[in-house]
């Protein structure tokens, strides 16, 4: 009889961890999978979108581009091919929200880690002022790590078109010329297929935390 109970005890000791693993797997399987929306122009505030594409409801992606970064290098869509990245719009002489946005982008870069494959892309809305030398000075002052973060300048019309037709991220005031832009505080999350997956207030810490969470969601989805 004692031998029988000893065997039963051994069976129980084996069964308990197996049962725990099975329950854990079932629990994870039953958890809803978090999915991020895929944004189109029709889903975004019309003030931020070029009029001719405000009706577009699907298949929206970031257009090809060719700009120059803080190191004088030509940066194109090829540099971001197959990458998750965060984009924004700024200018180096901005005294209001830009310093906060840049500080939060620096914090984001540090949180992602030195070897992160997530990239960052900041576009100047005053390229006539923000030369390569000016961008380099700004990058050094703000602690920008250029290993995966490009501050870019270039043709103003191209940046304007990217802002309003691709990233859906700036307003136009129409007073100082055809390509004048009023940038917003938005950080834009772009997936490896060049689709917009989220907008975040780059001046708010809680939005940066949400952005980090959503980046992880995209990374997990990309692995699968």
pLDDT tens-digit profile of 122-160? Answer: 999 999 999 999 999 999 999 999 999 999 999 999 999
Contacts of 177 (CB under 8 A, 6+ apart): none
Annotated binding residue at 183? yes
pLDDT attached to residue 180: 73
pLDDT attached to residue 29: 41
pLDDT attached to residue 5: 47
Annotated binding residue at 123? no
pLDDT attached to residue 172: 81
pLDDT attached to residue 93: 95
Cα distance between residue 34 and residue 217, in whole Å: 7
The SS3 of residue 179 is coil
pLDDT attached to residue 27: 44
Cα distance between residue 54 and residue 42, in whole Å: 5
How much is the pTM? 0.83
Query: Which residues, given as ranges, of the chain have pLDDT below 70?
Result: 1-33, 173-178, 224
pLDDT attached to residue 25: 45
User: pLDDT tens for residues 108-124?
Assistant: 999 999 778 999 999 99
Q: How far apart, in Å, are the Cα atoms of 104 and each of 46, 87, 150, 175?
A: 26, 13, 15, 31
């Amino acid at each position: 009889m004692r031998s029988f109970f000893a065997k039963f005890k051994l069976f129980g000791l084996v069964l308990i961890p197996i049962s725990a693993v099975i329950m854990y797997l079932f629990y994870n399987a039953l958890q809803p999978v978090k999915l991020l929306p895929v944004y189109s122009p029709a889903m975004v505030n019309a003030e931020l979108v070029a009029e001719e594409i405000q009706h577009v409801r699907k298949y929206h992606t970031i257009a090809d581009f060719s700009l120059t970064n803080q190191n004088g290098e030509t940066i194109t869509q090829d540099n971001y091919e197959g990458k998750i990245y965060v984009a924004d719009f700024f200018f180096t002489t901005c005294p209001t929200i830009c310093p906060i946005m840049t500080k939060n982008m620096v914090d984001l870069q540090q949180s992602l880690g030195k070897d992160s494959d997530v990239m960052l892309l900041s576009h100047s809305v005053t390229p006539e002022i923000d030369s390569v030398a000016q961008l380099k000075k700004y990058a050094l002052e703000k602690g920008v790590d250029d290993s995966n973060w490009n501050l870019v300048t270039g043709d103003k019309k191209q940046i304007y078109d990217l802002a309003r037709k691709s990233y859906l991220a700036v307003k136009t005031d129409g007073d100082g010329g055809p390509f004048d832009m009023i940038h917003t505080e938005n950080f834009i999350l772009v997936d490896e297929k060049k689709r917009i997956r989220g907008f975040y207030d780059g001046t708010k810490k809680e939005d940066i935390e949400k952005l980090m969470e959503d980046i992880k969601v995209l990374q997990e989805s990309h692995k699968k």
